[in-house]
Structure 1
Amino acid sequence: MSLDGRHILVTGAASGLGEVIARSLAAKGARLILADIAEEEGRATADSLGAAFVRVDLGDPDSIRACGEAVARLTAGKLHGLINNGAIATGIGGIPYDEIELESWDLVQRVNVRGTWLMVRAMAPLLKASGSGRVVNMASDTALWGAPRLMSYVASKGAVIAMTRSLARELGPDRIGVTAVAPGILTTESTDYVPEARHRQYSEGRAVPGAQSPQDITDVVAFLVEEGALTLTGQVLPVNNGFVFA
């Protein structure tokens, strides 16, 4: 699998799953732009990969607009892939639906849902100009099985799945493919606070039992930003070792 010469933007790439995805894409020859709100950490990751870095706040439309302008300059107006990985998971760990704070709910939807939409909107002209643009939205299998006690996050990822299907139809005429990847709980620093019982539920409930690492996701994402992945547009891939089947 080679991504030589393909300009790919990865959001939420300073650490965690986004960083692992970025490192995998770089190893396959992609020309990367990393974006994150964590500027110092993001620049360090980008420097280690020989990639460009753009700071972006997914909750701020002006910041996303500026990110689009920066990416246009960095790619000479042609972007081949957008990995919408940036998100927040406020509430994961066990908050019942009737105890979710309104501000927390709104923040999760603003970043995870509106931020994903606005990133696609900002990058769509660049993706179209490349002639083979690909969008990969990072969803979650929690939205496929209805995980309890984290409803704001589940709702946001359900919206990402729905948007993926709608965007696939709207952007398809421009030969832009839009897919979603729905991982299960991964073993990263960002899931350290998830209760052990939930980790055990996943580990024991998978068709292939055991923990799932971010590396399990990377080859799927890399394939979806290839030119040959267009026929999968609109699909949601639950990459979770068989915890949920599509």
Structure 2
Amino acid sequence: MPALNQLLAGRRVLVTGAARGLGLAFATAIAEAGASVAMADILEENLRQSVAELTRRGLQVHGYLLDLADPQSIDTCARSVVEQLGGLDGLVNNAAVTNSGGRSSEQLDIALWDKVMTVNVRGTWLITNACLPALRASGRGSIVNLASDTPLWGAPNLLAYVASKSALIGMTRSLAREVGADNITVNAVAPGLTRVEATEYVPEERYRTYQDGRALQRLQLPDDVSGAVVFALSDLSRFITGQVLAVNGGFVMN
């Protein structure tokens, strides 16, 4: 993707779920834009390799283990990030599990539903709360929640995930009003179906449905989403909050 011209120079940003896929693309773009990036993930070996690769490129990145299902892990991660980076200016809530893909509502069980909600909704809420003091102290804090365009069109056979991402959209709007007085912006980016490791389970028919229905009729890749995330973290968006930006090539227009 084009150079982002140091839009985030001097910023300190935490990206969850940063070991691979979209999260790794976001962490890379944010670091290329001049920020120091804390990369957090539960996938320890993937995280180690990704941090090492970006470090070899001369980018300012650090790795942290994070299990969004574990409140203690969340608190430890947030505290370590703030201590090592000396504060925090941005939080990208990217980490999530899908788990319900390819199953109808009646095929879901309670344990699966609870797992998706625990990680995607409760985990996002808790890591956000853990970071809020540092984001307030920044004076220019930004929170970017990774939603999805699936709630915008009602994707079938993905109910737990769609419900969790719908919750993130609502949380984005409510929290934006709560923390606006602290000069913290809160926005959501809602990607369309993107070709990454986490979507390997998706049948080709669903990829064709997306591609054929887009105004921009091609496969969506991680770099297609990174610019929106960098924008939402930057000074270019300081008067934008509580918004949902669909990044899906025009599959959904809102």
Could you say which TM-score interval applies, normalised by the shorter chain? over 0.9
CA deviation after TM superposition for structure 1 residue 148, in Å: 0.7
Alignment match, 1:56: 66
Structure 2 counterpart of 1:31: 36
* 1:171 and 2:176 matched: no
SS in 2 for 1:45: helix
CA displacement, residues 133-171 of structure 1 (integer Å, 9 cap, x when unaligned): 000000000011111111000000000000000010001
Q: Partners of 2:122 and 2:173 in 1: how far apart? A: 16
Query: Is 1:128 matched with 2:133?
Result: no
Does residue 17 of structure 1 match 2:26? Answer: no
Deviations 1:194-237 (A, max 9, x none): 01111111000001112110110011100100123121100000
What is the number of equivalent residue pairs in this alignment? 244
User: Which residue pairs with 1:116 in the alignment?
Assistant: 124
* Distance (Å, rounded) in 2 between the aligned partners of 1:114 and 1:219: 27
Q: CA deviation at 1:48?
A: 2.1
If the length of structure 2 is used for normalisation, what is the TM-score? 0.94
Residue of structure 2 in register with 1:81 after alignment: 90
Structure 2 unaligned blocks of 5 or more: 56-60
Amino acid at match of 2:156: P
Provide the residue aligned with 2:58 in structure 1.
Answer: none
- C-alpha contact (below 8 Å) 2:36/2:85 kept by paired residues: no
AA of the residue aligned to 1:107: K
Aligned equivalents of 2:114, 2:37: Cα separation in 1:
31
TM-score calculated relative to the size of structure 1? 0.97
Partner Cα separation in structure 1 for residue 44 and residue 14 of structure 2 = 15
Q: Confirm or deny: 8 A CA contact 2:185 2:240 kept in the other structure.
A: yes
2:153 is aligned, of 145, 159, 170, to: 145
Deviation at 1:26, TM superposition (A): 1.2
Coordinate RMSD, CA, aligned: 0.9
Q: Deviations over 1:71-101 (max 9, x none)?
A: 121122x211100000000021x10001101
Secondary structure of the structure 2 residue equivalent to 1:182: strand
State whether structure 2 residue 24 is matched by structure 1 residue 6: no
User: Deviation above 6 Å: which 4+ runs of structure 1?
Assistant: none
- Partner of residue 223, structure 1: 231
Alpha-carbon distance between aligned partners in 2 of 1:151 and 1:3, rounded to the nearest angstrom: 36
C-alpha distance in structure 2 between counterparts of 1:39 and 1:240, whole Å: 30
Q: Which blocks of at least 5 consecutive residues in structure 1 are unaligned?
A: none
Q: Provide Cα deviations, 1:44-75, integer angstroms capped at 9, x if missing partner.
A: 21222231111010011111011111012112
Q: How far is the alpha carbon of 1:177 from its aligned partner? A: 0.3
Whole-angstrom CA distance in 1 between matches of 2:185 and 2:108: 35
